[in-house]
């Protein structure tokens, strides 16, 4: 996985994070967390949950770009590289350890499944 959410060539300026974040959405999320008794930091906190969801979304997007099709769609041209479930992984982030589900892919071999017989 790359450090940036988009493929930015060396020397190009990336979009500043404050410009990519909707203030109204942030205020709504914080208000909902406070109303629900969710703490801001720590395990199970708002920051950890947002981090988990952003990472999982970025990984799903990278796999979609790599495979060339959305989840549930068939690859064109009979390609045998497809999504093959998810696995759990704990990543260390600036907000602490966060458990995420990582999408997997499989490069199936027809010979492994179709044996003459």
Buried/exposed code over 82-111 (b: 16+ C-beta within 10 A; e: otherwise): bbeeeeeeeeeeebeebebebbeeeeeeee
- Indicate the SS3 state at residue 92: strand
Predicted model pTM = 0.69
Q: Confidence band (pLDDT; 50, 70, 90) for 11?
A: low
Provide the sign of the torsion angle of the four alpha carbons 86, 14, 98, 48, taken in this order: negative
Both tokens assigned to 76: 């064109």
Average pLDDT estimate for 77-99: 85
């Amino acid at each position: 996985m790359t450090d940036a959410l988009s493929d930015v060539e060396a020397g190009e300026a990336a979009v500043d994070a404050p410009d990519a974040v909707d203030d109204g959405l942030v205020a709504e999320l914080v208000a909902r967390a406070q109303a629900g008794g969710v703490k801001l930091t720590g395990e199970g906190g708002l920051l950890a949950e947002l981090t988990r969801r952003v990472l999982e979304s970025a990984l799903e997007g990278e796999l979609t770009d790599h495979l060339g099709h959305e989840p549930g769609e068939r690859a064109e041209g009979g390609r045998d590289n497809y999504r093959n479930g998810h696995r759990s992984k704990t990543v260390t982030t600036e907000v602490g350890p966060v458990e995420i589900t990582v999408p997997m892919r499989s490069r199936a071999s027809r010979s492994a499944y179709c044996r003459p017989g």
